Each structure stands twice: as structure tokens, then as C-alpha cells.
Amino acid sequence: MSALPVIALWLGALALNTWLSGFDTRATRLAVALIFGATILILWEMIVRIYAIPPVILPAPSQIGASFAANTAILWTDFVQTILKGALTGWLIGALAAVLTAIVIDRSPFLQRGLLPIGNFVAALPIVGIAPILVMWFGFDWQSKAAVVVVMVFFPILVNMVAGLAATDPMQRDLMATWAAPYGASLWKLRLPAAMPFLFNGLKITTTLALIGAIVAEFFGSPTKGMGFRSSTAVGRLDLPLVWGEILVAAIAGSLFYGIVALIEKKVTFWHPSQRRQRG
């Protein structure tokens, strides 16, 4: 009986979105997405209230929102500690190291045969295994979290970059050779630009990996701040709305992080077929 309003709302929103999707304009496309998101939140709120689900199991969106608003200072401190210091630093160091390693591997078949398997091996290390060790090496603060992120993002970027550097045609490389281009010039003018779509693919994949790595690494020892620290301790204190607040921060940060990288990619690889827009 009490499920009726839930089903009614869902069907109503479905009908509205189906009708809206008939007009393919920018405004309706945005409206469809917004209505979908709002419906999910309203249904969630309704279900939690109708069935009196305890907040320990699943807090209502309104509770999460209230907790988010009340704890902005804590959430900001955690965001700076985990995302800006831990994840971003680690991601930048890891990406830079991976790109340089890829160029070195690309120059030498010997390293290609030796280094890539080692990279493979490192990629297969479980985070729960390396995190405590890195905490031991680099201490409790964000440095050890950044180190975990470096290990996590290094390999996906490396593999993409190695593939990217091999992405040019023999014809293009021969052309560089006929112009007597030295290695450096051919790398800078031909092969690095050609590798950019591959590199950005790796960078985009690793944005979320970096967040996960930095958050999970905090479970293995941390100062008393950070998103992983807060989530794990707030669960112990049954402050689930705060845990969901952290989840919300992670979701927003992850989307922004990915979005920014995708935006830079658009600017850098404007020439690539995947970046051509269809006029709608």
C-alpha cells in the first residue's frame, strides 16, 4: 500500500523524461538528466521515510545534506589532506615518472623487455599489501598516501604511453628521417603529439584510481584528518550521515578531477577524430 506513491512518482518521472527526450535540444537534454537525478533523490528520501529505515543502514538525502552543511569545515580539511595533498601530488609524480619511463623504454628494446614486466608486477601488487609498508617508509602523513597513489597510477599511464609512442606510422617516421630530424626533434614534433590521446586515456583512468588509493591508504595509519580516516572512524561512531558526506565530497572531487583532465585533453588533442563534435 505504502509503495504506491513511490511507484507513482517513478512512473510519472519516467513518462515525463520519455516525453522530453522526444525533443533533442540542449535544454531538454539537460532537463532529462536533472529530472533523473532529482527523481532518484526524492525516491530515496521517500523510501527511507516510508519504511523507517534506520540511519545506521541508509541515511536519507536530507540528513546527508544537513550533515554536509554542518560539517563543511571538517570536510574541507579532509579534502585538502586527502585529495590535494595525497591524491593530486601522487598522481602528478606518478604520471611524470610514467611518461619519462615510457620514453626511456621506447628508446631501448632491452628495457622494453625488462622494465615492462616489472611494471606489470608492480601493477598487480594489492594496495592492502603495499600501503602499510609505505606508511612505514614515509610516515603517517600525506606523503605515504601520495606514495601509494604513485604506485597505483604509474603502470596504467606507462602502458598507455608506451603504446602511444609506438602509434605513429612507419611512413611518418620515414618522413622525419628523410628530413634528417634527430631523435629529439622527431620525438617532440611527431611522436609525443601522436601519443597524446593515449596518454590522456591513461590520465583519465587514473584520476579515480588516485582518489581510491589515497582514501584507502589512510585506513593503514593516518593523522586525525583525511577522508579515509574520517569515513572509517565515523562508521565506528555510527555517524553515517558524515560518512555519506565524505562520499559526496569524493564523488564531486572525482567528477571535477576527471572533467578537468578531459577538458585539457580537448585542448591538447583538438586534431584527433574523437574530438570532432557533431552539430546537434
Partner 1 sequence: MKTLMLSTAIALAAGSAGAQELTLQLKWVTQAQFAGYYVAKDKGFYEEEGLDVTILPGGPDIAPTQVLAGGGADVIVEWMPAALAAREKGLPLVNIAQPFKASGMMLTCLKESGITDPKTDFKGKTLGVWFSGNEYPFLSWMSQLGLSTEGGPDGVTVLKQGFNVDPLLQKQAACISTMTYNEYGQVLDAGIAPDDLVTFKYEDQGVATLEDGLYVLESTLEDDAMVTDLVKFVRASMKGWKYAEETPEEAAQIVLDNDETGAQTLDHQVRMVTEIGKLTAGSNGTLDEADYQRTVDTLMAGGSDPVISKAPEGAFNHIITDRAFD
Provide the binding-site residues for partner 1, judged by CB under 8 A.
Answer: 54-57, 132, 135-136, 139-140, 218-224, 229, 232-233, 235-239
Supply the minimum distance, in Å, between the C-beta of residue 225 and partner 1: 10
- The Cβ of residue 190 has, within 10 Å, a number of other Cβ atoms equal to 17
Supply the minimum distance, in Å, between the C-beta of residue 64 and partner 1: 15
Contact 272, 230 (CB under 8 A): no
Nearer to partner 1, 220 or 257 (CB): 220
Supply the minimum distance, in Å, between the C-beta of residue 223 and partner 1: 6
Supply the minimum distance, in Å, between the C-beta of residue 212 and partner 1: 15
Residue from 219, 244, 245, 247 nearest 233 by CA? 219
Supply the minimum distance, in Å, between the C-beta of residue 218 and partner 1: 8
Contact 141, 81 (CB under 8 A): no
Q: Using CA atoms, how far apart are residues 199 and 157, in angstroms rounded to an integer?
A: 6
Nearer to partner 1, 194 or 217 (CB): 217
Contact 47, 53 (CB under 8 A): yes
Q: Phi, psi at residue 272, to the nearest 5°?
A: -80, 140
Supply the minimum distance, in Å, between the C-beta of residue 57 and partner 1: 6
Supply the minimum distance, in Å, between the C-beta of residue 224 and partner 1: 5
Nearer to partner 1, 239 or 265 (CB): 239
Supply the minimum distance, in Å, between the C-beta of residue 120 and partner 1: 28
Nearer to partner 1, 69 or 128 (CB): 128
Nearer to partner 1, 136 or 251 (CB): 136
Q: Using CA atoms, how far apart are residues 163 and 106, in angstroms rounded to an integer?
A: 9
Q: What is the DSSP letter of 53?
A: -
Contact 201, 266 (CB under 8 A): no
Residue from 208, 206, 232, 207 nearest 218 by CA? 232
Q: What is the DSSP letter of 238?
A: T
Residue 177 vs residues 106, 129, 212: alpha-carbon distances, Å: 17, 47, 44
Nearer to partner 1, 71 or 186 (CB): 71
Q: Using CA atoms, how far apart are residues 164 and 39, in angstroms rounded to an integer?
A: 42
Nearer to partner 1, 19 or 51 (CB): 51
Residue 100 vs residues 104, 105, 149, 202: alpha-carbon distances, Å: 6, 9, 17, 14
Nearer to partner 1, 10 or 219 (CB): 219
